[in-house]
Structure 1
Amino acid sequence: MTISAFFSLPTHRETLRLAWPIILSNSSVPLLGAVDTAVVGHLPEPHYIGAVAIGALIFSFLYWGFGFLRMGTTGFVAQASGQEDATEVRSVLARALILSGIIAVIVLILQAFVLWLALLLIEGSAEVEGGAADYFFVRIWGAPAVLANYALMGFFIGIRNTKAALTVQIFMNGLNIILDLIFVIGFGWNVIGVAAATVISESLALLLGLYIVRRELAQIGGVWKRSAILSLAKMGRLLAVNFDIFIRTILLIFAFAYFTAQAAKEGDVTLAAVAVLMNFMHFMAFGLDGFAFAAEGMVGTAVGAKKIDKLREIVYVSGFWALVVACLYALVYLVFGPLIINLLTGIEEVRLRANEFLPWLIGMPLVAIWSYQLDGIFIGAVQSKEMRNGMIISFAAYMSAMFLLGSQWGTHGFWAALIVFFVLRAVTLAVVYPRVEQRAGA
């Protein structure tokens, strides 16, 4: 790519146009998590924070593990869009929705087993586990809406209409926050109120998303073609890609779950401090993902259209803006970190413990940005095997680092291991990036 291409204003404008709605909508997700933490964090006992933290962690496994419903949909929709095949765009969406419905039914049937297994793996006090179970058995009924919404979000990003994703996400999380305050502060339902607020907002957001999809499809054109939707070859390709992403995502979520589980062994105060700081991680992750998501749609379209020069331009421009945002996150955490901690919890011993770990969070955005951005590039190119293999290598090294560094430095060692994890995720994908260009030039 030439220097002049990097300064191409249309690509910068397109990157920012796609990224800002995703950054705004994604940032509302950790804001919701922060409100969840805050409403229970000002209840008299710290175990309420731990209960919501572990309950939310279970759903991170359960739902984020099926994140391929969004990621796989984005890549396939974007490439079909680049090929100007409107009927295939519709077919990809239909396949994703069918798959989401099947998975949701299985999840509801196995809900008791899922909770038993989760509490077996994550140790907490009796009060924390009891609250987590109450949270789980209410929130699980939002599974059909959550999984279908993943497919819709993938569709919106794939057709490069991130404003639609913003509309749905802001509606869902804004309603969730309002219901949080009503159910927990107003009605005194504690963790059950948090879960009920989430289920109601997820279900109503799905209805809004389907309405917007119908409007978008009328503009895109194409037809619903049963033979295309149920094509064994294309369904097989979808399942293969989604299985690769599933393995990658499960290892990613397990890495964070293991981190929290190790913190839980240090007691309720340390667990509560980590739960507070995980909101910093969520703010960072969802914000940095804005440019990764923008790259997904743009890269997928470029690969589908076989435009290798455009692909390179997108990679460099989106990476530049992602780095700018990462620097802003680090600056905000440096200046306002203690204030944010104080807003999230009024328990002094939890505040002190969280401030002790804050320096790790200040440096995290500058390290993590590259793994997020490369994930977006590989998702758009539908290079799922490379993502799976890179994650397996990174996860193995992370677990080794957790044992070695944790045994030496305690919870500080766990944060250091997380840094190692982010670095290796980026390195393992950067090494095989030329395969993305080979696919675009084929």
Structure 2
Amino acid sequence: MSQTSVASRVASPRRFAALALPALVVLAAEPIYVLVDTAVVGHLGRVPLAAVAVGGTVMTLTAWLGTVVAYGTTGRAARRFGAGDRAAAVAEGVQSSWLAFGVGLLVVGAMQFGGGALAGALAGGGEVGEAAGQWLRVAAFGAPGLLLAAAGNGWMRGVQDTRRPLLFVVGPNLLSAVLCPLLVYPLGMGMIGSAVANAIAQTLGGVLFVGALISERASLRPHLRVIRQQLVLSRDLLIRGMAFQASFLSATAVAARFGAAVVGAHQIAVQLWFFAALALDALAIAAQALVGAALGGGDAAVARALARRVAWLGAVCGTAFGALVAAGAGVVPALFTPDTAVHAQAMVAWPWFVAMLPLAGVVFALDGVLIGAGDIRYLRNLTVAGALAGFLPAIWLTYAFDLGLGGIWAGLMLFVVIRLVGLVLRLRSGAWAVTGAVRDEARTADAVA
């Protein structure tokens, strides 16, 4: 069979759909719960909504750590799976799960001792800062489960299994979506009830993914050298994640200084943005698994065909999301809060949100291609450059010149454009398509294990 026919078969829409649609449900489950949580708390008033905005932004750091664990595991597991060694792919999941659990415990401890101070600093002190600290200390207990679930998703995606995670993610989040309004209102826990429901869902999800590892009959012993190796090979993803976190934490801090209505509107818009980003990331996850497996099997032609196709699919899906968001401009903010001042501020961010979605669809898709290829160093450099040259300067200039929420979202648009240009140039260069079970720059570390 020719390279062209193989590429067409592997990169077919049906093949993408088989991996992307289950991943889409998994990705959408958590942000849908967060949107429900935001709507439930929003009806308690402006201060609780702003407090969850601040506390939730801090907890997003844990979610990004989970993304680092999942994406690093997916790329490595996919290459080993593509080389015909499923057992080695699952073993990557065992060691990344130990790493995830350890980091989760550290997050719990850090939030108990320093979460209140961090939330207060982001909120500028006052009533919002105090409430955010209380919410954060409770929500942090879900961190180990959240990170274990991320590691589980990582190795399962690597072996191209996106179906089992449906039950492991959707089930706990449905339970939590029911618990949240019950704990907040009838049981009288207020906004802390949302944090309790969140922690329950994340812990249950982590337990289910650990059960999947046990069912594989793999050795569950931790191997410190392999864990250190994963840390070394994930350093670029960590730095990339830190650039994202510095940007979004700064955006929330600046929004909070413009008042509760602005930070409440920013919370609504940014949570919808994260929902759209994760939903579009379903294509990226399919690309990670398929590109990693193709390169692991030594087939660079298939990998390049996948990259081109996923870029076009990303553009189409991003445009569709943009149309939906534009249609909901006058309706969606009212679902989260009755506060008209928050509604007015949300409309300031809305045009930027709509305009960037088609571009973001391509960016997220090509992120997945390069992560699957193990080209993390380039992604790190591009993301840091976009943050330092675009997003962060725009955010702090917005604060200095009192530009409001529009300035913050203009900065996010600039960040997306910088990354889009860099990703397209990298795709056209072909330098990312390195074949083999392990990418060359990682082989030295692999030899130690």
Fold match by TM threshold 0.5 = yes
Shift in Å, 1:416 = 0.9
Question: What is the aligned partner in structure 1 of residue 33 from structure 2?
Answer: 32
Query: Which whole-Å CA distance do the structure 2 matches of 1:225 and 1:280 have between them?
Result: 38
> Any conservation in 2 of the 1:157–1:165 contact (CA below 8 Å)?
no
- 2: CA distance between counterparts of 1:266 and 1:344? 20
Question: Could you tell me which of 398, 420, 426 is aligned with 2:420?
Answer: 426
How big is the shift at 1:110?
2.6
Cα distance change of structure 1 residues 191 and 426 upon mapping to structure 2, 3 Å threshold: same
Structure-2 change in CA distance of 1:231 and 1:178 (3 Å) = closer
TM superposition shift of 1:107: 2.4
Paired position in structure 2 for 1:376: 368
Aligned counterpart in structure 2 of residue 316 of structure 1, from 290, 293, 308: 308
Q: State how 1:309-388 maps to structure 2 within 5 Å.
A: 309-388=301-380
What per-residue deviation string (whole Å, max 9, x for no partner) do you get for residues 119-170 of structure 1? 3541245221121111112111122211111110101111111122222221
Equivalent residue for 1:401?
A: 394
1:206-245 to 2 correspondence within 5 Å? 206-215=206-215, 217=216, 224=219, 230=223, 232=225, 234-245=226-237
Aligned residue among 254, 268, 272 for 2:260: 268
CA deviations on 1:336-394 (whole Å, 9 max, x unpaired) are: 22211111111122112212321111112112122211221121112221121111111
Which residues in structure 2 correspond to 1:19-418 (within 5 Å)? Answer: 19-43=20-44, 45-119=45-119, 121-124=121-124, 126-215=126-215, 217=216, 224=219, 230=223, 232=225, 234-397=226-389, 398-404=391-397, 407=401, 409-418=403-412
Confirm or deny: 8 A CA contact 2:119 2:130 kept in the other structure.
no
Quote the Cα distance in structure 1 between the aligned partners of 2:70 and 2:112: 26
Q: Aligned partners of 1:323 and 1:340: how far apart in 2?
A: 24
The structural deviation recorded for 1:318 is 2.0
Gaps of 5+ in 2: 441-449
In 1, the alpha carbon distance for the partners of 2:118 and 2:425 equals: 35
**361-370 vs 62-71, greater mean Cα deviation:** 62-71
SS at match of 1:275: helix
CA distance, structure 1, for counterparts of residue 395 and residue 108 of structure 2: 33
2:284·2:364 contact (CA, 8 Å) conserved in 1? yes
Give distance in 1, aligned partners of 2:105 and 2:11.
44
**Aligned-partner Cα distance in 2 for 1:414–1:108:** 30
Residue 212 of structure 1 deviates from its aligned partner by 3.5
One-letter identity of the residue aligned with 1:164: R
- Match status 1:437 vs 2:433: yes
**Share of identical aligned residues, percent?**
25
Alpha-carbon spacing, 1:74–1:113, altered in 2? closer, same or farther (3 Å): same
For the residue of structure 2 that corresponds to 1:67, the secondary structure is helix
The residue that corresponds to 2:447 in the other structure is none
Please, what TM-score do these two structures have when normalized by structure 1? 0.91
Letter paired with 2:395: M
Change (3 A) 1:110 1:182: same
2-structure distance, mates of 1:429, 1:237: 27
Q: Distance in 2 between matches of 1:225 and 1:192?
A: 35
Letter in 1 for 2:431: R
SS in 1 for 2:251: helix
Distance 2:190 2:220 in 1: 48
CA contact (8 A) 1:87 1:225 kept: no
Q: CA RMSD in A?
A: 2.4
C-alpha contact (below 8 Å) 1:134/1:191 kept by paired residues: no
Secondary structure at the aligned position of 1:88 is classed as helix
Say which SS state the counterpart of residue 432 (structure 1) adopts.
helix
1:394-437 CA-to-partner distances (Å, cap 9, x unmatched) read 11112223344663743212211110101112223333342222
What TM-score do the two structures reach when normalised by structure 2?
0.90
Distance 1:95 1:403, change over 3 A: same
Q: Is the 8 A contact 1:394 1:421 kept in 2?
A: yes
Displacement after TM superposition at 1:24 (Å): 2.1
User: How many residues were matched structurally?
Assistant: 433
- Following the alignment from structure 2 to structure 1, what is the Cα–Cα distance between the partners of residues 224 and 200? 35
| Contact 2:116 2:133 survives alignment (8 Å) | no
Equivalent position SS for 1:355: helix
Task: Quote the Cα distance in structure 1 between the aligned partners of 2:120 and 2:329.
Answer: 34
CA–CA separation in structure 2 for the residues paired with 1:9 and 1:241? 28
- Structure 1, 282-291 or 423-432: larger mean CA deviation: 423-432
Distance in structure 2 (CA, Å) of the matches to 1:403 and 1:124: 15
Q: Which ranges of structure 1 fall in alignment gaps of 5 or more residues?
A: none
